[in-house]
Amino acid sequence: MFGSGPDTGHGNSGVSGPLLIPMRFVWPYGGRRVFLSGSFTRWLEHIPMSPMEGCPTVFQVICSLSPGYHQFKFFVDGEWRHDEHQPFVNDNYGIVNTIFIAREPNLVAPSFSTETPGRSNMDVDDAFVSSEPVTTVSDADLEVSRNRVSAFLSRHTAYELLAESGKVIALDVNIAVKQAFHILYEQGIPVAPLWDSCKGQFVGVLSALDFILILRELGNHGSNLTEEELETHTISAWKEGKVYLGRQIDGNARSYPRCLVQAGPYDSLKDVALKILKSKVATVPIMHSTSRDGSFQQLLHLGTLSEILKCICRHFKHSASSLPILQQPICSIPLGTWVPNIGEPNGRPLAMLRPNATLGAALSLLIQAEVSSIPIVDENDSLLDIYSRSDITALAKDKAYAQIHLDEMSVHQALQLGQDANFFNGQRCQMCLGSDTLHKVMERLANPGVRRLVIVEAGTKRVEGIVSLSDVFRFLLGV
């Protein structure tokens, strides 16, 4: 496509001498074979790019460039492409991306990466780019997008979430916690509605958080968790003491609702989503009753934000332009929890742990920080794994809960116990980049079993933030 031409990188730099600065180029949009070419190769050489470990759709390469102005383009599966989220111009060679590398570090601020300026932890020796900041979404576009999402969710009902066939597992409140523990593990489910045969109705939900609180409480009464203690503790007895226990955690833990949060099949998807967000639960049972007093309940389905998000993605798939915010990179919108940059005010901190941290510390952090997962990182804060609430049920494997002590088992050892657990479909650590569009992030979160994405730096996998299903819905609904 490109013939020989002047090396704009060297010709316009105005800098003499062999000064070269390493620069990382990233193509985060997938492909089978990706190459980089530019004015710095006189458009003659195609430099192969390599997929990033753990993120096969992200390709990268590091080139040493002279300070000055450069143009570049990507050759993806035989087709010339440019990155629309980086500065570009219409040149003799078509649309090309541009980059300016300053000789002095203090000349320009933002560094070239696929993440947001100011948030990036991609340390490339004195390499800087003179580029316009990522365009932020206008208030008008945000309002239009939110109104259209809200209107869609208001028009559609929870009935549309029901599958043509399937099963929902419910537990009797009078069975032992130990038995419930094993059922959730064996069935590969993190949550189950609770049925009270005396009252003839569903009265609550048993979740992974219940098991976390139970194990911590039992651990306070002895050096080891015993199978006998779990054998004699029924779900009903546990639920009765849960409110009291919740108030003992740091003395100010939020109270746990006594009533079951549920929805009807004809409730709007917006109402279902708001119930999940307000109650801070992972799922809402969809119930139907044939009587006016609400008795004779039928459990139809367990509604989740993931399913509702899938409906949104499917509806707007061929009309994405009607939602202007979908093409915004997530780094440019108030979405998720980010690691604060040096000098920035520290808002809600991002909880992270080393693999040698104790399981007890991980469980305490899950409760105190009121999060559903914690990234596990190395000494450079690069992502190694993630520990989630639902991982606790892996202790049911081979009755591990009866042999371990929470303050002696490490997070790494606990994760090894659950390597073959079937809570996750596909890769455990679901990642994204700060440059990924909201649309791309929403499509990934709409996949079954995915509740959050860890935002990482291209190349190093250094954790920069985390975005969850709840974050996306709070942003889309403006709550």
* pLDDT single digits (tens) 318-370: 877 788 888 889 988 989 988 876 545 555 568 889 999 998 889 888 888 88
**pLDDT (0 to 100) of residue 261:** 87
Burial class from Cβ neighbours inside 10 Å (0-12, 13-18, 19+) for residue 439 reads: middle
Task: Judge whether residue 471 has pLDDT over 90.
Answer: yes
Place of tokens 């609180």: 213
Between residues 477 and 397, the one the model is more confident about:
477
Task: List, for residues 267-277, the tens digit of each pLDDT value.
Answer: 999 999 999 99
- Report residue 250's pLDDT band, with 50, 70 and 90 as the boundaries: very low
The whole-angstrom separation of Cα 309 and Cα 161 is: 11
Percentage of the chain beyond pLDDT 90 is 25
The whole-angstrom separation of Cα 179 and Cα 169 is: 14
Rg (alpha carbons) of the chain, rounded to whole number: 26
| pTM for this entry | 0.67
Task: List, for residues 68-99, the tens digit of each pLDDT value.
Answer: 888 999 999 999 998 887 888 887 778 888 88
The whole-angstrom separation of Cα 175 and Cα 232 is: 9
Between residues 36 and 141, the one the model is more confident about:
36
Task: Judge whether residue 66 has pLDDT over 50.
Answer: yes
Question: Long-range pairs for 108-114 at CB < 8 Å and ≥24 separation?
Answer: 112/23, 112/24, 112/25, 112/86, 113/24, 113/26, 113/435, 113/457, 113/458, 114/26, 114/28, 114/58, 114/85, 114/433, 114/434, 114/435, 114/458
Ordered structural domains, the chain, with CATH = 21-101 (2.60.40.10), 158-248+256-309 (3.10.580.10), 322-477 (3.10.580.10)
Strand, helix or coil for residue 248: helix
Poorest-pLDDT segment among 57-61, 137-141, 146-150, 247-251? 247-251
